[in-house]
A and B are shown apart, each in its own frame.
Chain A
Amino acid sequence: MGATISINGITHHYKAGADPVLQNIENRIDSGECVVLIGRSGCGKSTLLHLIAGLLQPSEGCVKINGHQVVRPMAKWNMMFQKPSLYPWMNVRQNAGLGLEFAGRPKAEIRGRVDELLMLVGLSEYSEANVQSLSGGQQQRVALARSLATNPEVLLLDEPFSALDAFTRASLQKEVAAICRDFGITLVTVTHDIDEAILMADRVMIMNRNPGRIEQEFEVALDWPRDTAGVDFQARRRVLMEQFERSENVTPLGKPSRDRVALRRVGG
């Protein structure tokens, strides 16, 4: 089950008096929707996710999830980071079940739930393994299981796949998108990979900086499952690229857009 996120007039600065990192962000994300944030580095994508997760409190405005104001982090609004940050003193099973343990669930329930999730992410055989012995992709799968274990309504992904090799990344993108659709989880993900955006998103938000803001929105409007090689896919990808380029040109303080080749590394 997902949840509706409403972002109400958020302005944020890390230091009082400094230029705002985000200015007057206003948006609404529907229950079960998948939104992808793209934009050059430093435009406040991570900051926005931290604010939605309750890991940061905005200087002005508020985030509401299902009408409740977010004032602190909670397991039902879960965030995944570029680094899996697994705990090396716990095995795979203990890592995956940590959120449930914090919630005080009984041992037997945790065990059953973790077994299910390790199966879902394809790590059943590794349940007793040392997390340090896993590959980067497997570690990120453990982190995914850990995030899903608490039945989150909202999943926030801050480039969690960007450090992985292309094959692992592609399969994880597909799996996460499918899982979130199956369970109706509201998904907000940051990426600098245009294909990932078109592959996963219902809606893409193009962000810009100085000050950080949502410059444009883009409905992907493709059916599932999506085929990266398909004609429609390539067409939508082209349109998104053009929009992104145009949004770069309106940067008030930044440089005008560079050539198309450079644009492939969105947010690089």
Chain B
Amino acid sequence: MKAPSVSIPNQNAAGLSAVARRRLQAVTYPLAGIAIMFLCWWLGGWVLAGNPDTVIFAGFAPGPTLASLQQMLGEGALWDAIGASLYRIGAGLFWGCLLGIPLGIMVGYFTTAMQMANLPFQFLRMVSPLAWMPLAVMIFDSWDGAIVFLIAMAALWPILFSTAHGVRRIDPGWLKVARNLGAGGAQMLRKVILPAVMMDMMAGIRLAVGVAWVVLVPAEYLGVTSGLGYAINDARDTLDYSALAAVVLVIGVIGYGLDSLCGLLMRRFNWRMES
């Protein structure tokens, strides 16, 4: 076939280099996405407001929500709720790591531990953390303790499985060389195994944060009188729908922030060189 005689139009006709275009797109596309989300939100609010049956829910629309949010940010209650929720997430993740990392390393390192633990762990992993609620309430005398337990149960599995996966992928040469250089068990752990699996561990923690944050809100519907989940329930009971939507917005933003933080940490511990 003959080559077409017309010249292909220059893709950078606007005078932008490919790199600059990509940079610009990295900003404009997400902004466009957010704009579309707001549009849907606004449309939804408009539909709610237009129907006499649903007009009491008109507070869900962007206008009232943002107004409520602005007001709440100026008051202490929202910040107290955020603080309480973050504390529970933090404590739950702490216990999840404290159990998940050593267990993950053991299961990844010792084949027999893996063979023994695999089935029970896969089974337990599939049980929704919220299913432990009645048990948690019996075991812990405070609601706070019970919620932290639930978060820990949610966080444990992703951390454990990611860590174990990372350990299994360790280059056996690294272990052999370290042994050969006279490394003891603790040195092997600190200098070779932990740095080698750091990235997988962080990936597990990132997943755990996501799951824990999702589980936190329903967990806070029960019993406690603080936290973002409680704030949602409270707003529903007082029919303050714009406040409810504002809390949802806050939950989303914090969740996104926590995930980005984990992403940053992952990049910080990534020793793989991009080529």
Contact = CB atoms under 8 A, between A and B. Distances in A.
Contact of A133 (B173, B180, B198, B273): B273
Contacts of A150: 181-182
Contacts of A146: 177, 181
A182 B171 CA distance: 33
Q: Which of B181, B196, B271 has the most CB of A within 10 A?
A: B181
B52 interface: no
Given A88-B271, A88-B272, A102-B187, A53 B180 contact: yes
Given A88-B273, A132-B273, A83 B173 contact: yes
B236 interface: no
B86 to A, nearest CB: 30
A89 B196 contact: yes
A103 B178 CA distance: 12
B74 interface: no
A10 interface: no
Interface in B218-275: 271-273
A23 interface: no
Contact of B181 (A89, A98, A133): A98
A175 interface: no
A98 B191 contact: yes
Interface residues of B, number: 21
A20 interface: no
Contacts of B271: 88-89
A81 B177 contact: yes
A203 to B, nearest CB: 24
Contacts of B180: 53, 55, 73, 75, 78-79
B184 interface: yes
A99 B192 contact: no
Contacts of B273: 88, 130, 132-133
Interface of A: 53, 55, 73-75, 78-79, 81, 83, 85, 87-90, 98-99, 101-103, 130, 132-133, 143, 146, 150
Interface of B: 171, 173-174, 176-184, 187, 191-192, 195-196, 198, 271-273
22 contacts: A53-B180, A55-B176, A75-B182, A78-B181, A79-B180, A83-B173, A85-B174, A85-B177, A89-B195, A89-B196, A89-B271, A98-B178, A98-B191, A99-B182, A101-B191, A102-B178, A102-B181, A102-B182, A130-B273, A133-B273, A150-B181, A150-B182
